[in-house]
Amino acid sequence: MGKYSQANLIDEELSLIGSTNFIGKLLHKVNKSSTILLNIDVPLNLFLRAEVFCEDIQDLSDLHFEQNDLMNLLYNDFLLFAKKNPDSNALFRLLTSLDKYAGKDSRLEKYGESAFKLIHKEKNQEIKTLNLRMRRKYALRGEILLADMEEVQPEHGYTLEKVFELLYIDFIDKFRKGDHAGVIENILRLLDEETE
């Protein structure tokens, strides 16, 4: 079995599940409710745009909202998609569709007399590393989904960090292009439900 995040939670979980001694069982219980830290690399320009987005949410809601909260919301949507579409192939198609254009510039170039072709070129971007705090049980769930994907797509190469990077880049890029109409209202509604 591969390693699906820096934390390598599956290996840790498997070693603790079989434990019969008191300390092993105690560690297993404590681990279930703990948090972990993942390092996610994102393009600096999108990081700045996400900062402004989070400030807008804070101003409109009067609640603390930072990039960690945004990334956890995006990841919760990803987990919801996986619950509604338990087929590992569907999950793989989602990730590859997000991965296809992540970190690339797209533009139309003239191709022949009256045709145009969409060209995707790698961006040379400065990178910002985000330290993402999340509940261990949700990270473990993501690792298990990636391990399940290994059965239909051996050596797919996706990690939890890569999933977060793809979700983040896709969301912020679409938002700044105006493709996420109503997203601020949806987040405000979610935050309002959490405070009730």
Q: What is the pLDDT of residues 139-152, one digit of tens each?
A: 999 999 999 999 99
Lowest mean pLDDT among 41-45, 78-82, 139-143, 188-192: 188-192
Element (H, E) at 80: helix 67-84
pTM of the model: 0.82
Q: What is the DSSP letter of 153?
A: S
CA dist., res. 55 & res. 70, Å (int): 11
| Local confidence band at 66 (pLDDT 50, 70, 90 cut-offs) | very high
The set of residues, in sequence order, having a beta carbon less than 8 Å from that of 122 and lying 6+ positions away, is: 103, 104, 105
Residues 121/104, Cβ–Cβ less than 8 Å: yes
Please name which of 11, 36, 29 lies closest in space to residue 138, comparing C-alpha atoms: 36
Q: What is the pLDDT of residue 39?
A: 95
% pLDDT > 90, the chain: 52
More confident residue, 16 or 60: 60
CA dist., res. 124 & res. 66, Å (int): 26
More confident residue, 73 or 20: 73
Q: What is the pLDDT of residue 3?
A: 87
| Local confidence band at 118 (pLDDT 50, 70, 90 cut-offs) | very low
